[in-house]
Amino acid sequence: MDMKALAMYAEQANCRVTTGISMATATTFRIGGPADLLIDIPHAEAAAAVLRFCKAENIPWLWLGNGSNLLVGDRGIRGAVLRWDTRRSAPQLVSENTITAEAGLSLQRLCLFARDNALAGLEFAYGIPGTVGGAVYMNAGAYGGQMADVLVSATCLTAQGEIVHVPDEDLRLDYRHSALMETGAIVAAVTLRLQPGDKEAIAARMKELIAKRQEKQPLEYPSAGSFFKRPTGYFAGALVEQSGLKGYRVGGAQVSEKHAGFVINRENATAADVRRLCADVQEKVRTLHGVSLEPEVQFVGEF
Q: CB of 195 within 8 A of CB of 120?
A: yes
**Does the footprint of ligand FAD cover residue 155 (CB under 6 A)?**
no
89 is catalytic: no
**Does the footprint of ligand FAD cover residue 68 (CB under 6 A)?**
yes
- How would you label 153-168 residue by residue, b for 16+ Cβ within 10 Å and e otherwise? bbbbbeeebeeeebeb
Nearer to ligand FAD, 222 or 251 (CB): 222
- Could you tell me which residues are beta bridge partners of residue 295? 228
Residue of the chain from 224, 245, 263, 293 that contacts ligand FAD (CB under 6 A): 224
Question: Please, what is the minimum distance in Å from the beta carbon of residue 213 to ligand FAD?
Answer: 7
Q: CB of 54 within 8 A of CB of 36?
A: no
**Does the footprint of ligand FAD cover residue 50 (CB under 6 A)?**
no
Question: Please, what is the minimum distance in Å from the beta carbon of residue 70 to ligand FAD?
Answer: 4
How many Cα atoms within 13 Å fall on the side-chain side of residue 66?
24
- Segment interacting with ligand FAD, rule: CB under 6 A, options 88-96, 180-188, 229-237, 238-246: 180-188
Nearer to ligand FAD, 6 or 188 (CB): 188
Question: Please, what is the minimum distance in Å from the beta carbon of residue 34 to ligand FAD?
Answer: 17
**Does the footprint of ligand FAD cover residue 183 (CB under 6 A)?**
no
- Could you tell me which residues are beta bridge partners of residue 138? none
Question: Going by DSSP bridges, is the β-strand pair 249-250/253-255 parallel, antiparallel, or unpaired?
Answer: antiparallel
Q: Which of positions 7-46 make contact with ligand FAD (CB under 6 A)?
A: 28
226 is catalytic: yes
Q: Please enumerate in sequence order all residues whose Cβ is within 8 A of that of 104, keeping only pairs 6 or more positions apart, or say none.
A: 65, 83, 84, 85, 86, 87, 89, 131, 132, 133
Nearest to 250 by CA among 293, 279, 292: 279
Question: Please, what is the minimum distance in Å from the beta carbon of residue 67 to ligand FAD?
Answer: 4
**Does the footprint of ligand FAD cover residue 186 (CB under 6 A)?**
yes
- Segment interacting with ligand FAD, rule: CB under 6 A, options 7-15, 72-80, 139-147, 281-289: 139-147
Q: CB of 218 within 8 A of CB of 225?
A: no
Q: CB of 273 within 8 A of CB of 263?
A: no
- Segment interacting with ligand FAD, rule: CB under 6 A, options 58-66, 88-96, 112-120, 231-239: 58-66
78 is catalytic: no
d(CA 12, CA 113): 33
- Could you tell me which residues are beta bridge partners of residue 146? 141
Chain CA centroid to CA 98, Å: 23
Q: What are φ and ψ of residue 123, in 5° steps?
A: -55, -35
Nearer to ligand FAD, 135 or 285 (CB): 135
The residues carrying an active-site annotation are: 176, 226, 296
Using CB under 6 A, list all residues that contact ligand FAD: 28, 63-70, 103, 128-131, 133-135, 137-138, 140-142, 180, 186-187, 217, 219, 223-225, 298
